[in-house]
Amino acid sequence: MNTLTPQVRSGELHGSLTLWDVPIFYRQAGSPGGQRPPLLLLHGWGGSSAYWSPTLADLGGDRLVLAPDLPGFGQSPPLRGEATPDRMAELVVAFADAMGLEVFDLNGHSFTASVATYVAVRNPGRVRRLVLTCISTYRSERERRLVSQVHNILALWMALRRPWMARVRPLYRAVGSRFFYRTPASNELLQEAVADFLRMDQRTALETAAGAGDPAINISLASLRCPTLVIGARNDNIMPPPGTPEVARLVPDSRLAWIERCGHLPMIERPDVYHRLLREFLDT
């Protein structure tokens, strides 16, 4: 059953629907039948739909904007069975079907930029325009192996995390600072981000992270046929900026845009610039 409840934030609604026997939480702004095509937003690894709230508020005035918590992240329980990037892509399509989206724009951030790529490649004609935010890839076999080693680092993070970490100010500010060029003054914002990371399902986290060095991603990028905007952040400490131009080179119909003085979360740190880039691309 699909339920929607109003929230205080600038026209944002919260909903839940069941896919593959798992309740999927999502945020919504705008309504079907808006002036523009609907936009689907996918959060990154360790995050949730919560950090898309500024984008929902900014772009939801003239289009339907949807941001789900993928299974095992945020308020959505994990899948029963594998949680690979491939399976996440299948679930995104199932979510679009359930929401009545035949053709839509799609924006994947960080880890889910690869998920968004798989959705667009395997469902030609359904993704009108694609945005890949803070994405990087490897330029050689050596770099691919280095990216794969991220899986081991993330496994260590998952083993060491504890719920009390979200309550220790020096700790959550130190962890949160990795995601920003200038760390926000708001302790609440950083606490929410760290709480999302601590809430993440461990099996889901490890299975999705294991696909970081998948050779299929570069093949899929080169197979994209929809107009694509690649957005990089110059001061991203999570996804290496040197690999971002390689993404734009691989995608046939793409353009690359950089946001200066910005870390891994441009929708929060530089929302004015980020949302202007989105509007210019999606509304052209």
In the chain, the number of structural domains is 1
- Give mean pLDDT, residues 110-115: 93
Looking at residue 209, its pLDDT comes to 80
Task: Enter the tokens of residue 243.
Answer: 């690999």
Question: Taking all residues of the chain, what is their mean pLDDT, rounded to a whole number?
Answer: 89
Question: Phi and psi at residue 108, in whole multiples of 5°?
Answer: -110, 130
d(CA 200, CA 111): 14
The partner residues of 68 in beta bridges, in order of sequence, read 26
- Give mean pLDDT, residues 220-243: 94
- Give mean pLDDT, residues 259-281: 97
d(CA 278, CA 131): 8
d(CA 13, CA 64): 11
pLDDT tens readout for residues 165-208 = 778 888 888 888 889 999 888 888 888 888 888 889 988 988 88
Looking at residue 212, its pLDDT comes to 66
Q: Which amino acid is at 88?
A: M
Q: Which residue has the higher pLDDT, 183 or 92?
A: 92
CATH number, position 19: 3.40.50.1820
pLDDT band at 2, cuts 50/70/90? low
Looking at residue 119, its pLDDT comes to 98
Looking at residue 3, its pLDDT comes to 57
Taking the whole predicted model, whether its pTM rises above 0.85 is answered as yes
Do 49 and 67 form a contact (C-beta atoms < 8 A)?
yes
d(CA 188, CA 175): 14
User: Is residue 210 predicted with pLDDT exceeding 90?
Assistant: no
Looking at residue 131, its pLDDT comes to 98
pLDDT tens readout for residues 36-87 = 999 999 999 989 999 999 999 999 999 999 999 999 999 999 999 888 889 9
Looking at residue 143, its pLDDT comes to 66
Burial-class residue 268 by CB neighbours within 10 Å (0-12, 13-18, 19+). buried
pLDDT tens readout for residues 120-164 = 999 999 999 999 999 988 766 776 666 666 656 666 677 777 777
Q: Which residue has the higher pLDDT, 15 or 142?
A: 15
d(CA 251, CA 47): 26
Of the listed ranges 33-47, 141-155, 240-254, 256-270, the one predicted with least confidence: 141-155
Structural domain of 157? 3-282
Looking at residue 8, its pLDDT comes to 45
